[in-house]
A = this chain, B = another copy of it.
Amino acid sequence: MQQLNIDLGTRSYPIVIGEDVLADRKLLARLLPHTNLLVVTNDTVARLHLPELIRGLGDRTAAVHTLPDGEEFKNHATLNSVFDALVSARLHRDGAIVALGGGVVGDIGGFAAACYQRGIAYLQVPTTLLAQVDSAVGGKTGINHAAGKNLIGAFHQPIGVLSDITTLRTLPPRELRAGLAEVIKYGLIEDLHFLEWIERSLEKLLTFEPAALEHAIRRSCEIKARIVATDEREQGARALLNLGHTFGHAIEAAGEYRTWLHGEAVAIGLLMAVSMSARLGWLVSSDVQRVKSLLERAGLPTSAPGLDAGRVLELMQLDKKIKNGHLRLVLLPRLGAASVSMDFDPAQLRDTLQEFLER
């Protein structure tokens, strides 16, 4: 079991990563001292992991609200169902939400906690690799709008993150691979050594080797924690965490959140950002090939044939990094270092979109 901390002053909190930690009563009592609880989870996760969590909560009673499983339910109707459940459970400001599940459960559960009674506490208990390395950490919460992913939301930090790597064994292989896209992202934006480690350890990660998973999660969280601590509300550096996401979000939206998992769309977006960086002369073609080969080895998609480039470009215009009407992209001056740029030729962007879509 390992612990690291997100350092945000009065909003600081611990991230605990380990095997079989869900049912650990002492740990749960430390992370979550509240007595008035609503567990928000989904159908699939409830079947697999709710009993352990209930065991971990000991003699505390908790109401449970189960969401349908899938990104297409990350909408205001589902959010409202959580509000109704909070009211039914008679939660007050001193109550807390426990978000047990993947990114959708964490984002909706966290956003409900942000808004209910203008803000109550919540504990993130992510059960997917993607949530453990990314969405459960950093306080971004929200829901999708037809016009864009996470367009409605709040910055609301959890009181803790409890990542049980044992839960990853029940993940469909496709979901594990989707999470690896975000792990690879951390290597690309900040740590070439970590990228090399991922290249070496990919088989161990794909076969659920606990020590490898624990390291991948810990290092990913460390990088994210450091960046979030310098820029909680995404005024600057935090945007770097969005490498591949401006492309990825638009690809997801174009597929109406049904075609691609978030991590898969990010994988395509990562390669597009790498390719775009090469078009700008920042990277060389062997860098592009290297990233493409890693994504392929991880079983991730590297293009989205059949999507209309014009439509995807339109969806990209809704990106939250837009300033004064200018699209800004996270790009790579070299592997292991990222920067935000709006200094590119629109034709280069169009060429990139056409290379990876439409074919």
Residues of A within 8 A of B (CB): 76, 80, 83, 87, 90, 92-94, 114-119, 140, 142, 145, 147-148, 150-155, 233-234, 317-318, 320, 322-325
The interface residues of chain B lying within 8 Å CB-to-CB of A317 are 90
Tell me the complex Cα distance, A216–B276, Å: 60
**Chain B residues with Cβ under 8 A from A322's Cβ?**
92-94
A143 to B195: give the CA distance in the assembly, Å.
Answer: 46
Contact of A87 among B90, B145, B323 (CB under 8 A): B145
**Cβ–Cβ < 8 Å partners of A140 in chain B:** 118
Pairwise interchain contact A154-B154, C-beta atoms closer than 8 A: yes
A342 CB → nearest B CB, Å = 13
A-B residue pairs in contact (CB < 8 Å), sample of 5: A87-B151, A90-B318, A114-B154, A117-B151, A154-B154
Q: Are A87 and B148 in contact (CB under 8 A)?
A: yes
Cα A317 to Cα B88 in complex, Å, equals 12
- A154-B119 Cα distance, complex, nearest whole Å: 7
Closest to A152 in B: B115
Q: Which residues of B contact A153 (CB under 8 A)?
A: 115, 117-118
The interface residues of chain B lying within 8 Å CB-to-CB of A151 are 83, 87, 116-117
Chain B nearest CB: distance from A317 CB in Å? Answer: 7
Tell me if A117 and B154 are in contact (CB < 8 A).
no
Known A76-B76, A76-B80, A83-B145; contact A154-B90, beta-carbon cutoff 8 A:
no
Contact of A320 (CB < 8 Å), options: B80, B92, B323, B324: B92
In the complex, the answer to whether A154 meets B118 with C-beta atoms within 8 Å is: yes
Question: In the docked arrangement, what's the CA distance between A92 and B318, Å?
Answer: 7
A147: B residues at CB distance < 8 A: 87
Question: Nearest Cβ in chain B — how far from A79, in angstroms?
Answer: 8
Q: A87-B318, A147-B87 are in contact. Are A155 and B119 (CB under 8 A)?
A: yes
* Cα separation A318 to B116 with both chains bound (whole Å): 12
Q: How far is the CA of A92 from the CA of B317 in the complex (A)?
A: 9
**Minimum Cβ distance to chain B for residue A3 (Å):** 27
A94 proximity list for chain B (CB < 8 A)? 322-324
State the Cβ distance, A233 to closest chain B Cβ, in Å: 7
Give complex CA distance A323, B234 in Å: 34
Q: How far is the CA of A155 from the CA of B156 in the complex (A)?
A: 11
**What's the Cα separation between A151 and B147 when bound, in Å?**
27
**Min CB distance, A316 to chain B, in Å?**
12
Q: Which residue of B lies closest to A322 (CB)?
A: B92
